[in-house]
Each structure stands twice: as structure tokens, then as C-alpha cells.
Amino acid sequence: MTVREIIEQIKALPASEQEKVAAFVRDLGSSVVREESGGAYIPAGEAKDLAQRIFTENEELFRKLAQ
């Protein structure tokens, strides 16, 4: 089955079923996303949380690097 066929089947669903599909796709966004280039990215919210944790846990190191 091709992506186009899947999309056409989703379009044919009742609105309530389409919303379930949309919710499923949104949930996929919380996992790592791979692009065609092979690069892996984490969602922006997870990246922000991770960066904050790194800066908090290594505050003294970053302070010294900034001098």
C-alpha cells in the first residue's frame, strides 16, 4: 500500500475517525523523527528540556567557558 492510498483512505473516514488518526500522528511526534537524509532529531520540547538540564547540571563549567 502506498502513502497516497493510505491518505485517500484516511480522507474517506468519518471526521471522528480522522481525528483519531490525527491524534496518533501527533503522538508520533513525541518520539525521535528521522528525515530522509538519515539525520535524527528530537522534538523541540524535548530538546529544550534536555538543554536546560545540561546547562543546570554543568553551570560552573559553562561559567568558566564564558570567561
Q: What is the pLDDT of residues 18-33, one digit of tens each?
A: 899 888 887 776 555 5
The residue with cell 538540564 is 53
50's torsion region: left (phi>0), alpha (psi -120 to 50) or beta? Answer: alpha
Number of Cα atoms under 13 Å in the Cβ half of residue 19: 3
pLDDT the model gives residue 42: 77
On average, the pLDDT of the chain sits at 82
The answer to whether residue 37 scores a pLDDT higher than 70 is: no
Return the pLDDT at 11: 92
Per the CB < 8 A criterion, the answer to whether 33 and 41 are in contact is yes
- pLDDT range class, residue 45, cuts 50, 70, 90: confident
